[in-house]
């Protein structure tokens, strides 16, 4: 599970996903996931901006304006990027939530689901863990 998709899930869905991995994996089977770290959280600031045809038409291909608001929830260690995309005939709002983790907080969630942490890495390519990085990766294995 890569591209920091684990960070985009809320606590209930993260727990359900990890429990599903634990249930479906054969003994000794492993899952690889990555997540945003507290370094990513620290470098992000609350902000508001707008742009015509944001990201070169990533949201819609038609002409539009995008308002981007970033919010930080300190106690929860959560970031929110809220995109309001305004086209001639519609307005849509998209929310990208990102939970940020320490190796310890991610380990706690993984172990609570009955998996064992085999290793903490810098990324899914397998580089050594870097405490100053914006992401971390983890290999978790079903005991057995």
Average pLDDT over residues 99-118: 98
Tell me the per-residue pLDDT of 34-87, one tens digit each, with 9 for 90 and over.
999 999 999 999 999 999 998 888 888 899 999 999 999 999 999 999 999 999
CA distance 106 to 129: 14
Q: Return the number of other C-beta atoms located less than 10 Å from residue 91's C-beta.
A: 11
pLDDT at 117: 98
Report whether 65 contacts 83 (CB < 8 A).
Answer: no
pLDDT at 116: 98
Instruction: Tell me: pLDDT of 106 over 90.
Output: yes
Instruction: Tell me: pLDDT of 20 over 90.
Output: yes
pTM of the predicted structure, to 2 decimals: 0.90
């Amino acid at each position: 599970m890569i591209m920091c998709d684990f960070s985009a899930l809320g606590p209930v869905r993260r727990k359900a996903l990890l429990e599903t991995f634990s249930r479906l994996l054969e003994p000794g089977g492993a899952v690889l996931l990555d997540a945003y770290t507290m370094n990513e959280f620290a470098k992000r600031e609350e902000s508001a901006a707008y742009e015509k045809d944001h990201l070169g038409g990533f949201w819609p291909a038609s002409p539009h304006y995008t308002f981007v608001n970033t919010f930080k929830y300190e106690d929860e260690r959560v970031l929110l990027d809220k995109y309001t995309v305004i086209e001639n005939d519609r307005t849509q709002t998209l929310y990208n939530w990102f939970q940020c983790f320490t190796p310890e907080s991610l380990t706690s969630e993984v172990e609570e689901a009955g998996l064992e942490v085999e290793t903490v890495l810098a990324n899914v390519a397998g580089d050594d863990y870097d405490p100053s990085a914006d992401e971390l990766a983890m290999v978790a294995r079903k005991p057995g």
